[in-house]
Each structure stands twice: as C-alpha cells, then as structure tokens.
Amino acid sequence: MSTAVHNQPLAPNDPLIIAGVEYQSRLLVGTGKYRDLEETRQAVEASGAQIITVAIRRTNIGQNPDEPNLLDVLPPDRYTYLPNTAGCYTAEDAVRTCRLARELLDGHDLVKLEVLGDEKTLFPDIVQTLQAAETLIKDGFKVMVYTNDDPIIAKRFEEMGCVAVMPLAAPIGSGLGIRNPYNILTIVENAKVPILVDAGVGTASDAAIAMELGCDGVLMNTAIAGARNPVLMASAMKKAIEAGREAYRAGRIPRKRFASASSPIDGTFF
C-alpha cells in the first residue's frame, strides 16, 4: 500500500550552476584555520561541499618533504578547487596569484577574486577588484568575485562577465551575520548570475537567512573552522543551507502584525 502518491519530491533536481557546471551542494567552504588536515577533511566531508577554496602561498623550502599536502587529503578529482586571492591588496598581485593557481591546478580556471582594501575591515578595494576582474576575464578565467553588498557594483561585475558575484554579509571572519538583508535581496533580484554570500556568517541561522533571501549559495570558512566542534558545525551548515533553500522555494507567508488562528472557529461546542 502506497501512501506516498501525494508527496511531491522535496527537492527535485535543483542544482547550483556556476559557469555551466552543476553542483548539488550550495554550500562552499574554505579550508583555512583548521587544527590540522584531518580536521579539515572531516569538516569538508560533513559539510557536503563540492567546491572548496584554497590559498596559494610560498612552498616551505628545507622543511619536512613528507609533510602531508592539502591536495592529497582533498583530492582535486573529487572536489572543485576554488583558489582565492586572499591577502592581495593590488590587482596585479591578484592576477599573479590566479595565474600561479591555474598553472598549479593544470589549467583549472575557476577562481575566487578578492582584492582587499585594509587589514582592519578586510573590505574589498572595488577599484582594484574591477581592474583585476577585467584582466582575468580577458585572460580566460572564470571569476567568482568577492565584493561588498552594493547592488550597483554587483551588477557591474555581472555585466563585465564574472560567473558569480559574492557579496559579503559582514566582515570576513566576523560572524556578525547578514548585516544588510535588503541590499542582499536587491542584489539577488537584479542578478542573472549566481549570487553567493561570501563572508560574515556566524552560525547556521545566518546561512539559512542568506538562502531564504534567495541567494544561490553561501561560502564560509571561519564559522565552521572556528566553532568549538567544527565537524558538527559543518553538518549544521549543510542542513541550514538546504532548509533555507527549501524555504525560499516554498515561499514564506507574509508577515502580519496580528494573529490568525490555525484551528477553525466553526464547530466549536462552547
């Protein structure tokens, strides 16, 4: 006997599509700030993320040659690597970093562009970011760009050919959550490319709010890696992203000031 005939599939195929590639997970995670590579691996696994960010840094010379490598623990054939330009304060350094990343990852051209303005806020330097994006796009890169929550600039990045626009919710690593939901909403409503909240998420409800606003995904690092139990938080974030996405697709009820009874008035016997 089947009772499932009235059940619609909860999430019919609803992939995130970036630069023509489908991903089932809408949670993108960073791999920094973990205690060790094993904790990184476990947290990434628990998050269900398919796209993971990495940084490009000088190789340590003269140190233990058998030291485990991130690419061994999280194999690039299983995850889509998203090299970032974290730490870059000029367009030139960001472009150099992306070119090194492409060489390192055998021609992989999907990158997360961030050009920072100052160390205190880690807010993006938009002038430098625009310059870098232009050079990178001309050079064949697929650019996912970290930007502030400015709808005008977000649209500009889309028009110049960025494959995804990633406004911050709050400063990187701050955990302050979605500080300007109306701007995020405006950015989402204007966009034809995926909009991902990048930076500022503190806990699962923040991720759910981003998704309920209609964001296509969320990228986070510190909220997971800095939690007391990173692997458990990774699992919480996975569920929050899925719940927020389903709630967005389901369509929430309007907010009203006063009550509306859930039980019928008809048939009361008192």
Partner 1 sequence: MPSPMEILVNGAPREVPEGTTMAQLIEMLGLTGRRLAVEVNREIVPRSTFETHRVQPGDRIEIVHAIGGG
Q: What does the binding site for partner 1 look like in residue numbers (CB under 8 A)?
A: 30-34, 37, 40, 53-59, 61-62, 65, 69-71, 81, 83-84, 86, 96, 99-101, 103-105, 172-173, 220-222, 225
Q: Find the catalytic residue in 33, 112, 142, 256.
A: 112
Residue 130 or 199 with smaller CB distance to partner 1: 199
Residue 61 or 259 with smaller CB distance to partner 1: 61
The CB-of-259 to partner 1 minimum distance in angstroms stands at: 44
The CB-of-79 to partner 1 minimum distance in angstroms stands at: 12
- The answer to whether the Cα torsion of 22, 73, 69, 241 is positive or negative is positive
Alpha carbons within 13 angstroms on the beta-carbon side of residue 50 total: 11
Strands 16-18 and 21-23: antiparallel
Residue 86 or 164 with smaller CB distance to partner 1: 86
Query: Does 112 participate in catalysis according to the annotation?
Result: yes
Contact 16, 49 (CB under 8 A): no
Alpha carbons within 13 angstroms on the beta-carbon side of residue 82 total: 28
The CB-of-25 to partner 1 minimum distance in angstroms stands at: 17
Q: Give the residue among 218, 214, 225, 265 at the shortest CA–CA distance from 42.
A: 225
Residue 44 or 211 with smaller CB distance to partner 1: 44
| Cα-Cα end-to-end distance for the chain | 40
The CB-of-63 to partner 1 minimum distance in angstroms stands at: 9
List, by residue number, the catalytic residues: 112
